């Protein structure tokens, strides 16, 4: 196959190099296009634009493939733990027993949050959405660890920032939940699994008898693994873009949290459960809601359906659907929301509107049902996604710096007014 592409503009031919990835993905390198031709490329929503070369995650939306550092998501979800996957994403290889134990220890030494962060939290209204608070508190870490502001820190110090954030995000998230619900936060316990400690900080403060079941720990590990990275999506691209200005790790991740919050991205998990509850309250008629989703005059979309890159199925949704059945039966929970979700899925998968547009359930269609079964309130669902996505964001931020990428700065086609003279206010 050719290693260059030919572009003909106004009868003149230009050669542009072709870049080939390890999975034979092909791109035309247009970085010299403007210098050669004065043209730019236009691709609203970056639907077909590669923003970087990355060795972290491979995704094939047509085939439904997702691999972290080459390892299939199905194997990682079944056999690995969230902390092991975090190590894999950030450092590029599966850890040895000693490496994993050391990484885990470093994270657990960093579970306590500064008193000042707790004080800032106490100033937020208890009704504040947890995602806004999470973003603010992560950004506030720059004040408590000012050395993190220097993008050219030695490797060990960058690593300190990394493990600190992985440790503290769970304590911050549990503190946010306890602040909104008026509950007492229990102190972090570094002697138990990362997910078990998170659940006990969430729910153990008011209940000294609280014990985290292994089924719950297993479910949470799986969910976090499935969310851990997803190449250049909206929040990850935000992290890379913010990081490209040499903003600190905490600032860049705080930006990622904000991007994730939107209902078209990570916020969909909260929207899905609210949609299922609304359908239930409305009498459970899924057909009526399918019709609403198809109606172009109705802004309603079937939340948890469709994906920018998966056009056959979302491999994460397949794993989550099976996990959801398993967890509900293990915990002895019967949830009508699950029946409605299954009905919606069945109806949508046979409806030409959804079939023609290749709209399938995505990772968020079932994740909310699991979070609900674990006792996590709806408004915390997207925070759970953020905890899961954190290692991916960190890995992408680290890679950006290791590859010494330039500051991100897209161009535009201007469609506004041509030059005109200022008009005084009384003459308008
Ligand atoms: N319900 C009804 N119609 C839909 C839906 C939906 N959920 N998603 C897409 N469509 C229609 C859309 O109206 C358009 O129709 P037409 O061609 O007639 O104008 C067509 O399908 C293509 O949609 P699009 O908005 O151009 O596709 P996109 O790639 O820009 O958007 C998406 C992808 C995920 C934002 C969108 O499918 C959506 O809004 N889904 C619901 C929100 C959701 O579940 N988001 C979570 C994504 S997974 C978690 C994550 O990784 O972020």
pLDDT in tens, 378-391: 999 999 999 999 99
**Which pairs from 280-288 meet CB under 8 Å and 24+ separation?**
280/336, 280/337, 280/340, 284/336, 284/340, 284/343, 286/340, 286/343, 286/344, 286/347, 287/347
307 Cβ closer than 6 Å to some ligand 1 atom: yes
Instruction: Say whether 325 is catalytic.
Output: no
Look at residue 42 in the predicted model and tell me its pLDDT.
97
Of ligand 1's listed atoms, the one at least distance from the Cα of 357 is 21
Pocket test for ligand 1, best of 306, 347, 352 (most atoms within 8 A of CB): 306
CA of 271 to the centre of ligand 1 (A): 14
If we measure between CA atoms, which residue out of 371, 42, 351 comes closest to residue 177? 371
Instruction: Say whether 227 is catalytic.
Output: no
- Which residue has a Cα nearest atom 35 of ligand 1? 264
Q: Which two tokens stand for residue 389?
A: 């996505």
363 Cβ closer than 6 Å to some ligand 1 atom: yes
305 Cβ closer than 6 Å to some ligand 1 atom: yes
Q: Which two tokens stand for residue 238?
A: 């935000």
Choices 3.90.380, 2.20.28, 2.60.40, 3.30.70: CATH for 4-50: 2.20.28
If we measure between CA atoms, which residue out of 360, 367, 362, 331 comes closest to residue 346? 360
Q: Strands (DSSP E) along 38-194, which ranges?
A: 57-60, 65-68, 71-72
Query: 350: buried, middle or exposed (CB in 10 Å: 19+, 13-18, 0-12)?
Result: exposed
- Fill in the DSSP letter of residue 305: B
256 Cβ closer than 6 Å to some ligand 1 atom: no
Of ligand 1's listed atoms, the one at least distance from the Cα of 362 is 48
227 Cβ closer than 6 Å to some ligand 1 atom: no
Look at residue 1 in the predicted model and tell me its pLDDT.
63
Residues in the chain predicted with pLDDT less than 70, given as ranges, are 1-2
Look at residue 339 in the predicted model and tell me its pLDDT.
86
Look at residue 143 in the predicted model and tell me its pLDDT.
97
- Topology of the domain comprising 96-407: Citrate Synthase; domain 1 (1.10.580)
- Which residue has a Cα nearest atom 37 of ligand 1? 306
Of ligand 1's listed atoms, the one at least distance from the Cα of 365 is 44
Of ligand 1's listed atoms, the one at least distance from the Cα of 309 is 29
Q: Which two tokens stand for residue 220?
A: 């949470």
Q: Which two tokens stand for residue 86?
A: 């975090």
- Which residue has a Cα nearest atom 52 of ligand 1? 265
Distance of CA 279 to the CA centre of its chain: 26
Phi, psi for residue 148 in degrees, rounded to 5: -70, -15
Distance CA 59, CA 66 (A): 5
Q: Which two tokens stand for residue 385?
A: 């996604």
Look at residue 272 in the predicted model and tell me its pLDDT.
93
Look at residue 311 in the predicted model and tell me its pLDDT.
87
- Fill in the DSSP letter of residue 382: H
Of ligand 1's listed atoms, the one at least distance from the Cα of 306 is 37
187 Cβ closer than 6 Å to some ligand 1 atom: no
CA of 30 to the centre of ligand 1 (A): 28
Distance CA 278, CA 276 (A): 5
265 Cβ closer than 6 Å to some ligand 1 atom: yes
- Which residue has a Cα nearest atom 41 of ligand 1? 303
3-state secondary structure of 414: coil
303 Cβ closer than 6 Å to some ligand 1 atom: yes
CA of 417 to the centre of ligand 1 (A): 32
- Which residue has a Cα nearest atom 20 of ligand 1? 357
Give the CA angle between residues 36, 38, 40 to the nearest 5°. Answer: 105
CA of 76 to the centre of ligand 1 (A): 28
> Residue 187 contacts by C-beta under 8 Å, 6 or more apart in sequence?
112, 201
Please check whether residue 367 is in contact with residue 223, taking contact to mean a CB–CB distance below 8 angstroms: yes
233 Cβ closer than 6 Å to some ligand 1 atom: yes
Please check whether residue 194 is in contact with residue 104, taking contact to mean a CB–CB distance below 8 angstroms: yes
CA of 359 to the centre of ligand 1 (A): 7
Size of the chain, expressed as the number of residues it contains: 428
Bridge pairing between strands 12-20 and 71-72? unpaired
DSSP string, 74-107: HHHHHH--HHHHHHHHHHSSPPPHHHHHHHHHHH
Distance CA 222, CA 228 (A): 10
304 Cβ closer than 6 Å to some ligand 1 atom: yes
Domain regions of the chain by residue span? 4-50, 96-407
Look at residue 82 in the predicted model and tell me its pLDDT.
98
Q: Which of 104, 193, 229, 364 is catalytic?
A: 364
Distance CA 214, CA 320 (A): 17
Phi, psi for residue 179 in degrees, rounded to 5: -65, -45
- Fill in the DSSP letter of residue 287: H
If we measure between CA atoms, which residue out of 153, 127, 152, 149 comes closest to residue 139? 149
């Amino acid at each position: 196959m050719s290693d260059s592409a030919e572009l003909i503009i106004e009868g003149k031919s230009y050669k542009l190099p072709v870049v080939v990835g390890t999975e034979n993905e092909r791109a035309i390198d247009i970085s010299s296009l403007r210098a050669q031709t004065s043209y730019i490329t236009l691709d609203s929503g970056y639907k077909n634009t590669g923003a970087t070369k990355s060795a972290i995650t491979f995704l094939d939306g047509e085939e439904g493939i997702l691999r972290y550092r080459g390892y299939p998501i199905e194997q990682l979800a079944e056999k690995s733990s969230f902390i092991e996957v975090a190590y894999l994403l950030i450092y590029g290889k599966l850890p040895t027993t000693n490496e994993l134990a050391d990484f885990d220890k470093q994270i657990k030494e960093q579970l306590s949050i500064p008193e000042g962060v707790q004080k800032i939290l106490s100033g937020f209204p208890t009704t504040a959405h947890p995602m806004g608070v999470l973003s603010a508190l992560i950004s506030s870490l720059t004040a408590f660890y000012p050395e993190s502001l220097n993008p050219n820190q030695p490797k060990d110090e960058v690593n300190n920032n990394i493990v600190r954030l992985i440790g503290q995000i769970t304590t911050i998230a549990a503190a946010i939940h306890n602040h909104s619900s008026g509950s007492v936060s229990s102190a972090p316990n570094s002697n138990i699994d990362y997910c078990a400690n998170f659940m006990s900080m969430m729910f153990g403060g008011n209940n000294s008898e609280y014990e985290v079941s292994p089924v719950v720990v297993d479910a949470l590990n799986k969910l976090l693994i499935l969310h851990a990275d997803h190449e250049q999506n909206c929040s990850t691209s935000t992290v890379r873009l913010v990081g490209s200005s040499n903003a600190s790790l905490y600032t860049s991740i705080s930006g990622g949290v904000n991007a994730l919050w939107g209902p078209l991205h990570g916020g969909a998990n909260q929207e899905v459960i609210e949609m299922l509850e609304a359908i239930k309250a409305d009498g459970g008629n899924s057909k009526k809601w399918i019709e609403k989703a198809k109606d172009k005059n109705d802004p309603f979309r079937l939340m948890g359906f469709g994906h920018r890159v998966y056009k056959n199925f979302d491999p994460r949704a397949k794993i989550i659907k099976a996990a959801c059945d398993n967890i509900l039966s293990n915990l002895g929970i019967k949830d009508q929301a699950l029946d409605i979700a299954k009905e919606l899925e069945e109806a949508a998968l046979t409806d030409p509107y959804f079939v023609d547009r290749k709209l399938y359930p995505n990772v968020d269609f079932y994740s909310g049902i699991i979070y609900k079964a674990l006792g996590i309130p709806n408004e915390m669902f997207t925070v759970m996604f953020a905890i899961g996505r954190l290692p991916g964001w960190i890995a992408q931020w680290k890679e950006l710096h290791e590859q010494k990428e330039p500051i991100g700065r897209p161009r535009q086609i201007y469609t506004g007014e041509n030059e005109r003279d200022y008009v005084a206010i009384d003459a308008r």
